[in-house]
Chains A and B, each alone.
Chain A
């Protein structure tokens, strides 16, 4: 087991190096000059040369890459050209917002998707199954940004029930300031006992979480359904059936157990899918997470920020998949070392 962990962690490290290498060279071919962006309109040639030297842009690309790698290894991705702060700090501040959004959306998708998928599989070829399947095909077809707009029009515009965008009301923030310990507002507000701020956080979270989770919920429903149906056709389910185990037990104990383990992989993939989707959702709801930061950075040629964000997102994604992979090794006796 230890060997497998070491192996996987090393492999993940290699892939991460690959990821930042790819992003490094991609960011260097970004059109337009980052220096101009940084210095504003009409800088003198001297200013440009000075700035380029500061940023190390006058050195050959390979050398730049070497310097970059050395710094990155120390956790230093440079300063953002726009905010002027270290990229790691920027990303850290925004990462928790994104993680809060994605984690809640993932939980919602699992809480809704799993039972629906199981139910549809058990009641295969009934009205319920057909409607769940139709609904899930429709749900993946809705563009995330369109769904966000629809929800905004309805809940914020027409009903005026929920806030249009943002993470918390600025007014509430002034009235009841709270310590940011974890960066997850839901937790921080509760710990601080600021229930007004907590309520505001919840209200702000509702729409983006629903928007982000809908497509994933639908795909979890589909995958759960088909995995469960497949499980019910396995020989070992036939065995327990032949030994007169109750139908409900067959479904909810034997088949479900056999379904949950393969579904682990899906959790990893869904997490990645949501990290990608969060870029759009954050843009729609003006959510102060890494997605919006990344889009801004890309549009403004802020290459240290681009690399920093990409690294963080890939790291989060790979970590989840590493955990899933290792869990799989723990759960599947065939993969355990004898």
Chain B
């Protein structure tokens, strides 16, 4: 019996005005029914073009050669109309962002039925019944009610379930999932991956699972293919590829993945904990009863609810939470960018949340921030020297000569040099931009640095080098970090202590080793379970 999907020597070439770009350069893969093949690669590796070619959706100026067989049917070279008939019946797709995958103006049930009926000879009530059945299968809560609702009334995870239900109800034997969990929270991600696995087994679907997230690969894939610059550089079973990668690039990739249980755990600074386990060292930052309430149509929403914590000098405290947990609100309050509704923030013993004048200036000189997205955090119209020197100009009275000196040494400490001084941000890659942002954060030699998901927008291999740099900087400057993240594996690599924020409340806190070994709160446990663990040889 032929494999459900066989791709042989596939090439996808784009003709542009001046040049040709080979997005896929001779790739071959094979997926059998009931099997999950993970196609792993970073952005620009050609993995999405490969999947589009399998669907016959290569954009107009692209040329496809080689062979793609669905079962025994060749589709390369077939008329568009024939391939179209196969989409939605023989092969289906789940896209990256479920929030935009459906038209916001129409009810989900109507949209799904319409799509279903394009290929399947069903009358409206039959189609509806089939969708309803699929909704139950993907465990969508209250399927009967859901079918008549609009897309915006669902969460991202629920919408992805709906999209999966569509794929299931089409009875497609081959399914392509292009980064289906990237837009979702950690715990939701785990549930969706679990659901996909279940459906693959039950319906004997062949799943091509495209991702850049090695963590997701380990919890779903049977076999793995690693793609780079349009070529498949390594393939094998999940075990082989993750435990014993052969190709240099795969090794780099695996090394770069933050893996829970793989890193060395940094214990808290020893003398900061007394015998009874209570912190009594002089904290640099003390937060008591911090509360932020937002008014909304449905009544006031508590983004932060009586949050208490402290940060000790020189320590890295990780703040873990998913989107909507209140972690960003917390960071904004500490930075004086949001007015808290209640509570006290003391920095070096001085209350700063309502401070003005010199107290505030002093605090600002000593607390700096690095944001998640380096594409947004650097003003595109300013040169590097102006970006990095801004804190010095605003908060100190140094003269130009001194400022330039400080900027240079800050740049050098993040691995950049004077030749970068007069360039604009667009000349830098994402990783380099984040280094510039780090230089700006460190240029004042602050005592506390708030890092808001500083690696989340970067490719894995770049992520690793930024984390390394962060650890190095902390050792050198002895600044305290508040490291905000949703990635527990990363916490393990950088933090001494961890605070878990859930729906605006702190549900768990303590040294990393203790929390990860014996989580007390049920939510922490769930988070830990949804974080992939595996061992390298």
Mark A residues whose CB is within 8 Å of B. 234-236, 238-247, 249, 254, 257-258, 261, 331-334, 338
Q: Which residues of B contact A242 (CB under 8 A)?
A: 55, 57, 87-88, 92-93, 95
Alpha-carbon separation in the docked complex, A336 to B427 (Å): 45
- Supposing A236-B101, A243-B88 touch, asked if A249 and B57 sit within 8 A by C-beta, the answer is no
Q: Which residues of B contact A234 (CB under 8 A)?
A: 100, 103
CB–CB A240/B115 < 8 A: yes
Q: Which residues of A contact B432 (CB under 8 A)?
A: none
CB–CB B115/A236 < 8 A: no
Contact with A along B92-120 (1 / 0, CB 8 A): 11010100111111100000000100110
Q: Which of A245, A254, A334 contacts B104 (CB 8 A)?
A: A334
Q: Which residues of A contact B119 (CB under 8 A)?
A: 243-244
Select from chain B the residue with minimum beta-carbon distance to A125: B60
Mark B residues whose CB is within 8 Å of A. 55, 57, 84-89, 92-93, 95, 97, 100-106, 115, 118-119, 150, 152-153, 163, 166, 170
Q: Which residues of A contact B87 (CB under 8 A)?
A: 241-244
CB–CB A331/B105 < 8 A: yes
Q: Which residues of B contact A261 (CB under 8 A)?
A: 105
* 4 nearest CB pairs, A to B: A244-B87, A243-B88, A244-B88, A235-B100
18 chain-A/chain-B pairs, Cβ below 8 angstroms: A235-B100, A235-B101, A239-B115, A239-B163, A241-B87, A242-B95, A243-B93, A243-B118, A243-B119, A243-B166, A244-B118, A245-B115, A246-B118, A247-B84, A257-B105, A261-B105, A331-B105, A333-B152
Alpha-carbon separation in the docked complex, A245 to B84 (Å): 7
Alpha-carbon separation in the docked complex, A244 to B101 (Å): 15
15 more CB-based (< 8 A) A-B contacts, given A239-B163, A244-B86, A332-B105: A235-B97, A235-B100, A236-B100, A236-B103, A238-B101, A241-B87, A242-B92, A243-B87, A243-B88, A243-B166, A244-B88, A245-B118, A333-B105, A334-B150, A334-B152
Give the Cβ gap from A228 to chain B, nearest Cβ, in Å: 14
Select from chain B the residue with minimum beta-carbon distance to A332: B105
Q: Which of A243, A331, A333, A334 contacts B115 (CB 8 A)?
A: A243
Give the Cβ gap from B84 to chain A, nearest Cβ, in Å: 5
CB–CB B102/A333 < 8 A: no
Tell me the dominant secondary structure on chain A's binding face.
helix
Give the Cβ gap from A4 to chain B, nearest Cβ, in Å: 12
Alpha-carbon separation in the docked complex, A239 to B166 (Å): 11
Select from chain B the residue with minimum beta-carbon distance to A260: B105
Select from chain A the residue with minimum beta-carbon distance to B163: A239
Alpha-carbon separation in the docked complex, A240 to B100 (Å): 12
Alpha-carbon separation in the docked complex, A208 to B104 (Å): 40
- Supposing A235-B95, A243-B166 touch, asked if A332 and B104 sit within 8 A by C-beta, the answer is yes
Interface centre among A240, A261, A331 (most CB of B within 10 A): A240
Alpha-carbon separation in the docked complex, A333 to B154 (Å): 13
CB–CB A236/B102 < 8 A: yes
Alpha-carbon separation in the docked complex, A238 to B150 (Å): 19
CB–CB B102/A241 < 8 A: no
Q: Which residues of A contact B85 (CB under 8 A)?
A: 244
Interface centre among B57, B87, B103 (most CB of A within 10 A): B103
Q: How many A-B Cβ pairs are below 8 Å?
A: 69
CB–CB A243/B103 < 8 A: no
Select from chain B the residue with minimum beta-carbon distance to A124: B60
Q: Which of A238, A245, A249 contacts B95 (CB 8 A)?
A: A238
Select from chain A the residue with minimum beta-carbon distance to B86: A244
- Supposing A238-B95, A243-B118, A246-B118 touch, asked if A333 and B84 sit within 8 A by C-beta, the answer is no
Alpha-carbon separation in the docked complex, A258 to B310 (Å): 51
Select from chain B the residue with minimum beta-carbon distance to A236: B103
Give the Cβ gap from B100 to chain A, nearest Cβ, in Å: 4
Give the Cβ gap from A254 to chain B, nearest Cβ, in Å: 7
Q: Which residues of A contact B106 (CB under 8 A)?
A: 257
Give the Cβ gap from B460 to chain A, nearest Cβ, in Å: 25
Q: Which residues of A contact B57 (CB under 8 A)?
A: 241-242
Alpha-carbon separation in the docked complex, A258 to B151 (Å): 15
- Supposing A245-B118, A338-B153 touch, asked if A333 and B88 sit within 8 A by C-beta, the answer is no
Alpha-carbon separation in the docked complex, A241 to B100 (Å): 14
Q: Which residues of A contact B100 (CB under 8 A)?
A: 234-236
Alpha-carbon separation in the docked complex, A234 to B100 (Å): 8
Q: Which residues of B contact A258 (CB under 8 A)?
A: 103, 105
CB–CB B104/A333 < 8 A: yes
Interface centre among A243, A257, A261 (most CB of B within 10 A): A243
Q: Which residues of B contact A240 (CB under 8 A)?
A: 115
CB–CB B118/A257 < 8 A: no
Interface centre among A234, A236, A257 (most CB of B within 10 A): A236
Alpha-carbon separation in the docked complex, A333 to B149 (Å): 9
Q: Which residues of A contact B152 (CB under 8 A)?
A: 333-334
Select from chain A the residue with minimum beta-carbon distance to B85: A244
CB–CB B101/A239 < 8 A: yes
Q: Which residues of B contact A236 (CB under 8 A)?
A: 100-103
Select from chain A the residue with minimum beta-carbon distance to B52: A242
Alpha-carbon separation in the docked complex, A244 to B152 (Å): 25
Give the Cβ gap from B244 to chain A, nearest Cβ, in Å: 36
Give the Cβ gap from B165 to chain A, nearest Cβ, in Å: 13
CB–CB A246/B84 < 8 A: yes
Q: Which residues of A contact B115 (CB under 8 A)?
A: 239-240, 243, 245
Select from chain B the residue with minimum beta-carbon distance to A337: B297
Give the Cβ gap from B234 to chain A, nearest Cβ, in Å: 28
Q: Which of B89, B102, B103, B104 contacts A244 (CB 8 A)?
A: B89
Give the Cβ gap from A126 to chain B, nearest Cβ, in Å: 12
CB–CB B92/A243 < 8 A: yes
Select from chain A the residue with minimum beta-carbon distance to B118: A245
Alpha-carbon separation in the docked complex, A233 to B205 (Å): 29
- Supposing A243-B118, A244-B118, A246-B118 touch, asked if A257 and B103 sit within 8 A by C-beta, the answer is yes
Select from chain A the residue with minimum beta-carbon distance to B83: A244
Q: Which residues of B contact A244 (CB under 8 A)?
A: 84-89, 118-119
Alpha-carbon separation in the docked complex, A236 to B114 (Å): 13
Q: Which residues of A contact B95 (CB under 8 A)?
A: 235, 238-239, 242
Alpha-carbon separation in the docked complex, A333 to B150 (Å): 7
Alpha-carbon separation in the docked complex, A331 to B92 (Å): 30
Alpha-carbon separation in the docked complex, A102 to B103 (Å): 34
Alpha-carbon separation in the docked complex, A334 to B95 (Å): 22
Give the Cβ gap from A162 to chain B, nearest Cβ, in Å: 43
Q: Which residues of A contact B150 (CB under 8 A)?
A: 333-334
Select from chain B the residue with minimum beta-carbon distance to A333: B150
Alpha-carbon separation in the docked complex, A261 to B105 (Å): 9
CB–CB B88/A245 < 8 A: yes
Give the Cβ gap from B259 to chain A, nearest Cβ, in Å: 32
Alpha-carbon separation in the docked complex, A242 to B53 (Å): 11
Interface centre among B85, B95, B166 (most CB of A within 10 A): B95
